[in-house]
Structure 1
Amino acid sequence: MRVIFAGTPDFARVALQRLLDAGFTVPLVLTQPDRPAGRGMKLQASPVKQCAQAHGIPVAQPRSLRLDGKYPDEAAAARDALLAAQADVMVVAAYGLILPQWVLDLPRLGCLNIHASLLPRWRGAAPIHRAIEAGDVQTGVTIMQMDAGLDTGAMLLAERLPIAPADTTATLHDKLADLGGRLIVQALREHATLRPVPQPADGVTYAHKIEKHEAAIDWSQPAALIGQRIRSFDPFPGASTECGGETIKVWSYEIDSYSCLPDKRFGQILLVNDKGVTVACGEGALRLTTLQRAGGKRLAAADFLRGFALEPGMVLGNPSA
């Protein structure tokens, strides 16, 4: 089976490597154009491109696949490359471009998507983040036959995965990437016997893209929800709060035992010690255990407090709220 692969980040790189390890022929890889990254903002190839180049696989990086769109020449060149690849199927994982109908129709077996949720829950761009933010106890990976909708295609394979209480987007990402790589290999090997199952109409939710403005902690929310958002936004954009005009990022926490906080303002520091910084929330309190100041490193609370004075009575966040 000849497999065109389309993907960009590390989640997709894992799947590409698993396909290669399983012996599938990959004549062409599609990935996003190189982007500026790092302190020097130098152009950097995507993890998928780096993997493809390491295996000597041709790479196409069109900015669009729409033949009638803004970059028709790039789309036409990509079409020529896709046709020349003579692939049986296209595997798509976190590619970042919408596939027009001509692409969906091109391979003999169509296009299969590796989606990091149990569809139809968390269709869209950020299923891992949103599952943790919502407090879901499980997620998984769905292998889907792509159609023109947003993650609406029929399901070929799905496998569940528990979300551990300490999971962040970073740790859950790695588990799901490994699961996705395993499932896509299984789906291709068993394709002749798999029956597409339409997604149910009930239970549809959308995982909207994570925006930087979501990082600011709203201390009027319950402690449990704030904690879920801290884990959801690790590593990007990192949950943050303000103190004395400086931004502090919060990377880990514990739910504190405070059950009643009369006359306490949301965001007020209740206790400071080597175990952490306990902050009043809309419901309960959080002990912040790993923090980071702008330009610094992630530090355990005891180390952070040696260079940044936090005291009981201080209020984090917007003091006028």
Structure 2
Amino acid sequence: MSETGLRIIFAGTPEFAAQHLQALLDSSHQVVSVYSQPDRPAGRGRKLTVSPVKTLALEHSIEVQQPLTLKDPQTQHVLASYKADIMVVVAYGLLLPQVALDTPRLGCINVHGSLLPRWRGAAPIQRAILAGDATSGVTVMQMEAGLDTGPMLLKTGIPITLADTSASLYKKLAELGCNSLVKVLNGLQSAKLTAEVQDNAEANYAAKLTKAEGAIDWHQSAQQISLQVRGLNSWPVAYSDWQDNRLRIWMAHAIESSGNQPAGTLVTLDKTGLEVVCGRGHLKITQLQWPGGKTLNQSEIMSLKQKMILGEAFTSLKVDN
């Protein structure tokens, strides 16, 4: 072990992971190598794009590896050559075989965006909001071969507020995760941490999101639709069709109301937003986006009075795949 801290291999790809890499760079620990997903085409021009983690690593002159798999013997040899004390994995995107998990002296740890064993899997932040959970948090765990099943080194929870979207909760958990990660590494360095085994009976799975989940069914309750809107902001975003236009619904909340209009009927359009009838209650839409236009907030929604007539209804019969 280095006098300046643990020798760390960091594995991650998106911005969430890059924030954790920055926290390590700001700590007393030493990042000796970074692993990230291979550069891939992105955007309309399909230009080859470098991941946020790779970008940050290169800015700090850290050696970057981008293998297609960690099952290859030569790749495993390179991994072992760094003689790391520990490997930190945050939203990497590749499965680690047992030989890779066993390579660092202290094994591999992972930062996961939920209070395990609840919401193991790919989309824990979004699924927590979609399910109406009151709390979320971050778990730092010792990795093993199963999906997010390893012993837990540290769990830190925070409340999910009624204003939280998956995007805002993502930001909160990124900050929480960075602090938790450094705390765990310091604890492992001083041998002051004890891992807690997960209770598999309490586990559930956070499946990857699909675009089709954005389609609003107005026969559901306003409460359920509001969770859908918040949980799918910022991707894939809840949507509904108004005549031949697909509107993206960015922010909304449920309000208590009753009546006999059909589900999906627009009953109010004013400076407070759009009010739409649901299977139970009404939904107040406060941010939405017309096709090809910018996202409109409450004060700008009045501009839609020329396009949207009270008494007409939303539909969501065409579902994105």
Normalization by structure 2: what TM-score?
A: 0.93
Q: Is the CA contact 1:126–1:210 (under 8 Å) kept in the aligned structure 2? A: yes
Q: Is the CA contact 1:9–1:47 (under 8 Å) kept in the aligned structure 2? A: yes
Paired residue secondary structure (1:248)? strand
2:13 corresponds in structure 1 to 8
List per-residue Cα deviations over 1:83-122 (Å, max 9, x = no partner). Answer: 2211010000111111111111111100000011000000
Deviation at 1:23, TM superposition (A): 2.4
Match of 2:28 among 15, 23, 29: 23
1:73 corresponds in structure 2 to none
Match of 1:94 among 82, 91, 94: 91
Deviation at 1:282, TM superposition (A): 1.1
Deviation at 1:15, TM superposition (A): 0.8
Task: Report the residue type matching 1:277 in the other structure.
Answer: L
Match of 1:126 among 120, 123, 127: 123
d(CA) in 2 for partners of 1:77, 1:61: 13
Q: Is the CA contact 1:117–1:127 (under 8 Å) kept in the aligned structure 2? A: yes
List per-residue Cα deviations over 1:247-266 (Å, max 9, x = no partner). Answer: 100011132231x222x211
Task: Report the residue type matching 2:91 in the other structure.
Answer: A
Deviation at 1:226, TM superposition (A): 0.6
1:45 corresponds in structure 2 to 50
Is 1:66 aligned to residue 71 of structure 2?
Answer: yes
d(CA) in 2 for partners of 1:294, 1:318: 15
Q: Is the CA contact 1:292–1:304 (under 8 Å) kept in the aligned structure 2? A: no
Paired residue secondary structure (2:181)? helix
Deviation at 1:306, TM superposition (A): 2.0
d(CA) in 2 for partners of 1:194, 1:95: 24
d(CA) in 2 for partners of 1:295, 1:63: 37
d(CA) in 2 for partners of 1:295, 1:58: 42
Task: Report the residue type matching 2:88 in the other structure.
Answer: V
**1:227-246 mapped onto 2 (5 Å cutoff):** 227-246=226-245
CA, structure 1 residues 114+268, in 2 after alignment: closer, same or farther (shift >3 Å)?
A: same
Normalization by structure 1: what TM-score?
A: 0.93
1:188 corresponds in structure 2 to 185
Gaps of 5+ in 2: 1-5
Is 1:261 aligned to residue 259 of structure 2?
Answer: yes
Paired residue secondary structure (2:283)? strand
Task: Report the residue type matching 2:59 in the other structure.
Answer: A
Is 1:138 aligned to residue 135 of structure 2?
Answer: yes
d(CA) in 2 for partners of 1:131, 1:100: 28
1:317 corresponds in structure 2 to 315
Deviation at 1:28, TM superposition (A): 0.9
Q: Is the CA contact 1:271–1:311 (under 8 Å) kept in the aligned structure 2? A: no
2:3 corresponds in structure 1 to none
Is 1:114 aligned to residue 111 of structure 2?
Answer: yes
Deviation at 1:36, TM superposition (A): 2.2
List per-residue Cα deviations over 1:287-310 (Å, max 9, x = no partner). Answer: 111110222211124524525611
Paired residue secondary structure (2:30)? coil
Gaps of 5+ in 1: 68-75
d(CA) in 2 for partners of 1:103, 1:138: 33
Task: Report the residue type matching 1:289 in the other structure.
Answer: T
d(CA) in 2 for partners of 1:78, 1:164: 44
Q: Is the CA contact 1:270–1:278 (under 8 Å) kept in the aligned structure 2? A: yes
Instruction: Tell me how many residue pairs correspond in the alignment.
Output: 310
Instruction: Name the Cα RMSD after superposition.
Output: 1.5
Q: Is the CA contact 2:274–2:285 (under 8 Å) kept in the aligned structure 1? A: yes
